[in-house]
Copies of this chain bind each other. A is one copy, B any other.
Amino acid sequence: MFIALDAMGGDYAPQSNIEGAIQFVKEFNIGVYLVGKKDILEKELEKYNLPDNLPLKIVNAEESIEMDEAPSIAIRKKRKSSMYIAGKLVREGKARAFVSAGNTGAAMAISKFVVGAAEGIERPGIAIAFPTKKGKPTVLIDAGANVDCKPTHLVYFALMGHTYAKEMLRISDNPKIGILSIGEEEGKGNDLVKETYPLLKKTKLNFIGNAEGRDIFTGDFDVIVCDGFVGNVVLKTSESLGTIILDMIKEEVKKSFISKIGATLMLPALKRFKKKADFAEYGGAPLLGTKGTCIITHGRADGKAIKNALKVASEFEKRHFNNKLKENIKNLIPEELQTIKE
């Protein structure tokens, strides 16, 4: 098995990407294509004293996608970019998974349009595992891949979320699914929610009704579906609020000497908490519903995060995620919404 890594994407590329890839390859003996400018990558690899038989291969790509470039540039204009070529390796079956820490919008576009959607899936969706009070995560899908959605898209997000929560995160054998809304009762919400609700009830998923914003962190739901606009706002609000609350606590603490001593004593606990709340620790977010596995990680990914992302990608393949997805479409989706014809 080979994974195609966009070696030029991310704030610390290519150094961190190469560092992470080497660690991953050594530990798991799964192949990685390092896609990027050949001379730069070769020079970087020379720094390591690597054995010859390591399944680590450079695939040359002349261009790179910048962090502020439009996704349309990535898929239409810069077809010699490391990201584009990495995606193409998956499309052509030369690699099984695509991993990028580069420009998120571009990486999503490459995943959707170069790697392409999986059988039966119209709209791939980003799944984020949020830490919860109960210890086990809650999956929010879609966290930003699709801004204006139809009810059927949300039904398929629920199905992908179910498959991810069950097969990959092993949260539950029959994950509890909710739809993000305002108000708990059926009939509350916007038009999209009201139209999706009866469709979700018709599936064989364990749909338990409306979830509210507060339910993302309680652990009462295993999967919460929403359109990618709302999901992305929730994701960015939560990431930022977590950081800001810690900053505000620090500010308050500074005001008194006694508090400062207290904070010093609390430091190990605060660090453990920070690690728990750091969404990036989860090893990047998968874009579910593409032909191969696509993992998109934070731009600030270090070597460890890159290694984690590669590991997550390999697990998706080892557990045959897309086969399970296809089976679930056939088994859990009602006939009128069925996309798989035999």
Binding site for B on A (CB under 8 A): 105, 131-133, 144, 147-148, 180-183, 189-191, 193, 212-218, 226-230, 232-242, 244-249, 252-253, 255-256, 258-259, 261-270, 272-273, 276-277
**Most B CB within 10 A of own CB, among A244, A266, A268:** A266
Bound CA–CA A148/B253 (angstroms): 43
Taking CB as reference atom, which chain B residue is nearest A237? B213
Q: Which residues of B contact A237 (CB under 8 A)?
A: 213-214, 216-217, 234, 237-238
Dominant secondary structure of chain A at its interface with chain B: helix
**Could you tell me if B229 and A213 are in contact, using CB atoms closer than 8 angstroms?**
no
A selection of 6 A-B contacts at a CB cut-off of 8 Å is: A181-B229, A182-B229, A215-B240, A217-B237, A241-B242, A261-B262
Bound CA–CA A132/B131 (angstroms): 23
Q: Which residues of B contact A233 (CB under 8 A)?
A: 180, 182, 212-213, 226, 230, 233-234
Bound CA–CA A127/B233 (angstroms): 18
Q: Which residues of B contact A258 (CB under 8 A)?
A: 265, 268
Q: Kindly report how many copies of this chain are found in the complex they form together.
A: 2
Given A262-B266, A266-B263, A272-B252, do A238 and B241 touch, yes or no (CB 8 Å)?
yes
Taking CB as reference atom, which chain B residue is nearest A219? B244
**Could you tell me if B273 and A256 are in contact, using CB atoms closer than 8 angstroms?**
no
Q: Which residues of B contact A244 (CB under 8 A)?
A: 132-133, 217-218
Bound CA–CA A229/B259 (angstroms): 40
Q: Which residues of B contact A276 (CB under 8 A)?
A: 248, 252
Query: Of B148, B239, B241, B270, which is within 8 A of A191 by CB?
Result: B148
CB distance from A262 to the nearest CB of B (A): 3
**Could you tell me if B277 and A245 are in contact, using CB atoms closer than 8 angstroms?**
yes
Bound CA–CA A105/B212 (angstroms): 15
**Could you tell me if B248 and A277 are in contact, using CB atoms closer than 8 angstroms?**
yes
**Could you tell me if B268 and A256 are in contact, using CB atoms closer than 8 angstroms?**
yes
Q: Which residues of B contact A256 (CB under 8 A)?
A: 268-269
Q: Which residues of B contact A270 (CB under 8 A)?
A: 249, 252
Shortest beta-carbon contacts, A-B, top 10: A262-B265, A213-B236, A214-B240, A262-B266, A213-B237, A252-B269, A182-B232, A147-B190, A259-B269, A213-B233
